[in-house]
Structure 1
Amino acid sequence: MQQEKPEVCFCTLALGKRYRSHAFLLAEDIEKHSPGIYLIVLTDKPQEFQKYSNILAFKHEQQSIGCYHDKRFVIAKAISLFNTCIFIDADIRILDKLQPDMKWLPGITARSCTSIVQHNHAYINSVNDAYKANRARDLTILSKLAQKLDLDLEDTNIQFVMEMLFVVTRQDGREIEFLKHWETIALYCELNGFYGAEGYAIGLAAAKAGLPVRWDAMDGIVYFKDWVERQKIKKGQANPDTTLIYFQQHEAIEYRQNSIFQKLARKLNKFIGYYYRSLCLRLATLSNFNFYYR
């Protein structure tokens, strides 16, 4: 008797050796704690994932300049295969079983989100004076973009979504419209030099598509993220000994020793990739000149 295919999957982006190494550990966590749940991976080297029976790996080359907005391609692939996809950063670890009674409502469910109005206040005030001018510039870009989209940034229903862990569930095709709007927003932000704006893009695209965004504590997903865990330890909310092994494994990947040749090759690839993707961005946006350039 054939086992029924689950309606939910995990999904992530793993470009480059560092993130592929993180994704290997993530896949092992999911297989250990939730066998039968697939991990969809978009990666530059899908052949490296062939030994993992719980991974569906698909070839992907970086499209966005900052790479952050490539997460939309992960969502697009995963939501085409499953009713619900849980996007998770490749360097997150899963520590326990995905609770089977978790129900995902149509739309977006975020582990962490807040109104864009509230986030903008924190975005400016969380840095020292040396960086405030750059962040004010980012918000000016965001304001112009919202006008072009006919969205009111003062609307407290429009959310900023923390992109390290969020869930998308199909809703009558609105999830497809959401992805199309995300692309438009991503191109505009990157064209104007605002590269790390995917949290804004998710919220704006959802608002434009009429896709609801909800907060949920997601108690049924027990995970480790290095900077999140450090905050918990600092506040006395977690025992550092409990997650020591995860810190060690994370740092072994993050601070792996590379030869001088490897470092030079990475810098050269980054340099060439930046200008290549910048050219592609310019060409892609010419098709809607009024929106992107006026």
Structure 2
Amino acid sequence: MNILKPKPNNYCFCTAAFGEQYRNLAKLLATDLNKFAQSFPLVIFTDRPQEFQNYSNVIAVKHWCRGVKTYHERRFAIQYALSYSDTVIYLDADVRICDFIPDQLEFLSGLTARSCSSMAKHLKKYDKKDLNTKFQRKKETIEKMANQVNVNLDSPDLKFINEFLFVIKADQGKELDFLHWWGKLAIYADTLGLHNNPTYAMSLAAVKTNFSVFHSEMIGLNFFDDRIEKERIKSGTSNPNAKAEYFRAQYEIEQKKNKLLKRLMGKIYQPLNVFYNFIRVRITTIINPSKLIDYQY
């Protein structure tokens, strides 16, 4: 692990990268940031930190998954990164940075998301689904999560946050309360069978702790996200060839052919691993829930 001095007046980046595919994607992101934001560290929580030892801008921290899946583990990377800077820019491992980033990016205290909208509007689509579908069961789980923190799902303060790119800026300790309640709701959702979609735990935790949520286009942060770029191309706001190289590099990693035996083992191992983690989380929440919620480093 490379040790970099904290830069309290600036910002740092962070991501989570578990498994070969996401570690390889995170290496591309690390290379981008070393080129375009060399002064600022990238904190990576990962299962194999040794793979990042040659990246001078990376602080790689070994981490085991507390939840059933790894979607919520990013909160620990954010908490760690807050010890380096009071402003942390989280990016999914498959996001790329395409140009130089200004030395100063201004954000308000709280959570600022590149993409967010009304949670109430988002949840309305579930009302149109059949009561027996997985969508309705998912909404029932979200309602139980909201009841846990006494938050009204119709609250205008409740936002649907697209978690691929957002910023956490310290707000007199509220950020730590926010991360704690995010963890509590994440583990509670795990026990109910909702292992994906961090946005629900994040949004409810933000309202619970009065941690403000903002939307920003983040002018000055030129990034690539394949889903966003496809929408830009579809709407005519981006040239299909402008970021073709980024599409190609991501495709090569995500579509890398594995040997037949490895693919078969993956199909067997993954569901068994999810089942094992589900049982582990259910038991640990009874015996020692803080082990899953609070992270000491």
CA contact (8 A) 2:126 2:139 kept: no
Is 1:72 the counterpart of 2:75? The answer is yes
Residues 63-93 of structure 1 show CA distances to partners (whole Å, capped at 9, x for unaligned) of 2223211121111111132211111000010
Is 1:228 the counterpart of 2:228? The answer is yes
Counterpart Cα distance in 2 of 1:283 and 1:55: 35
Percent identical among aligned pairs is: 35
Residues 90-112 of structure 1 show CA distances to partners (whole Å, capped at 9, x for unaligned) of 00100011223311221111111
Is 1:258 the counterpart of 2:261? The answer is no
Counterpart Cα distance in 2 of 1:71 and 1:251: 23
CA contact (8 A) 1:146 1:153 kept: yes
1:32 is aligned, of 30, 35, 40, to 35
- Corresponding residue for 2:50? 47
TM-score, normalization: structure 2?
A: 0.90
* Count of matched residue pairs: 285
The alignment partner of 1:81 has SS state of coil
Counterpart Cα distance in 2 of 1:240 and 1:132: 41
- Corresponding residue for 1:108? 111
CA 3–139 in structure 1, closer or farther in 2 if over 3 Å, else same: closer
Counterpart Cα distance in 1 of 2:28 and 2:134: 36
Residues 238-262 of structure 1 show CA distances to partners (whole Å, capped at 9, x for unaligned) of 1111111111101000000101222
The alignment partner of 1:80 has SS state of coil
The alignment partner of 2:286 has SS state of helix
2:122 is aligned, of 113, 119, 125, to 119
CA contact (8 A) 1:189 1:197 kept: no
User: Where do 5+ consecutive residues of structure 2 fail to align?
Assistant: 290-297
Is 1:247 the counterpart of 2:250? The answer is no
The alignment partner of 1:179 has SS state of helix
- Corresponding residue for 2:202? 202
Shift of residue 42, structure 1, vs aligned partner: 0.5
Residue correspondence of structure 1 range 117-266 to structure 2 within 5 A: 117-122=120-125, 133-266=133-266
- Corresponding residue for 2:22? 19
The one-letter code sitting in structure 1 at the alignment partner of 2:144 is K
Residues 192-229 of structure 1 show CA distances to partners (whole Å, capped at 9, x for unaligned) of 11222301111111111111111111012111111111
TM-score, normalization: structure 1?
A: 0.90
- Corresponding residue for 1:292? none
Is 1:57 the counterpart of 2:60? The answer is yes
Shift of residue 285, structure 1, vs aligned partner: 2.3
CA 232–138 in structure 1, closer or farther in 2 if over 3 Å, else same: same
Counterpart Cα distance in 2 of 1:121 and 1:288: 36
- Corresponding residue for 2:286? 286
CA 211–4 in structure 1, closer or farther in 2 if over 3 Å, else same: closer
CA contact (8 A) 1:124 1:132 kept: no
Q: Higher helix share goes to which structure? A: 1
Counterpart Cα distance in 2 of 1:206 and 1:4: 26
CA contact (8 A) 1:149 1:208 kept: yes
Counterpart Cα distance in 1 of 2:5 and 2:81: 20
Counterpart Cα distance in 1 of 2:49 and 2:247: 26
The one-letter code sitting in structure 1 at the alignment partner of 2:83 is S
The alignment partner of 2:101 has SS state of coil
The alignment partner of 2:133 has SS state of helix
**Considering only aligned residues, what root-mean-square deviation do their CA atoms show, in Å?**
2.2
Counterpart Cα distance in 1 of 2:35 and 2:197: 34
Counterpart Cα distance in 2 of 1:274 and 1:144: 22
CA 116–278 in structure 1, closer or farther in 2 if over 3 Å, else same: same
Residues 45-78 of structure 1 show CA distances to partners (whole Å, capped at 9, x for unaligned) of 1011010000000001222223211121111111
Residues 150-199 of structure 1 show CA distances to partners (whole Å, capped at 9, x for unaligned) of 11111111112110000001111111111110111111211111222301
- Corresponding residue for 1:90? 93
Counterpart Cα distance in 1 of 2:94 and 2:51: 17
